[in-house]
Amino acid sequence: MDYSYPFSIDWTTEEIVDVVAFFEAIELAYEKGVKRKSLMAKYRRFKEIVPSIAEEKTYFREFEEESGYASFPVIKEMKVRSDEDIIKMKK
């Protein structure tokens, strides 16, 4: 991985770590698959840090430009699946 994760300089170290963990879960959804419950918890924490939909879209776009991984389809899939599913996306 030769890219950086989007973050704000206004965030605390803990918030940056939590946002990076969320984006790592997005990567995992494309690479190996991620447990829906785990992804949901990370997304909820991400939304505590980034409550604005406009900001969320900006960070998702920045992450996709850097990594090639689209976050929105993963979140959409997470919302429609049952609790026992693994979220696995195709590239």
Q: Where are the domains of the chain?
A: 13-83
Looking up tokens 């409550």 gives: 51
**Whether the predicted pLDDT of 1 surpasses 70:** no
pLDDT of residue 2: 73
**Whether the predicted pLDDT of 13 surpasses 70:** yes
User: How large is the average pLDDT for residues 72-80?
Assistant: 94
Q: Tokens for 83?
A: 């609790």
Its pTM surpasses 0.75: yes
Interatomic CA distance for residues 14 and 53, integer angstroms: 21
User: How large is the average pLDDT for residues 45-56?
Assistant: 97
13-83 — its CATH code?
A: 1.10.220.80
pLDDT of residue 90: 86
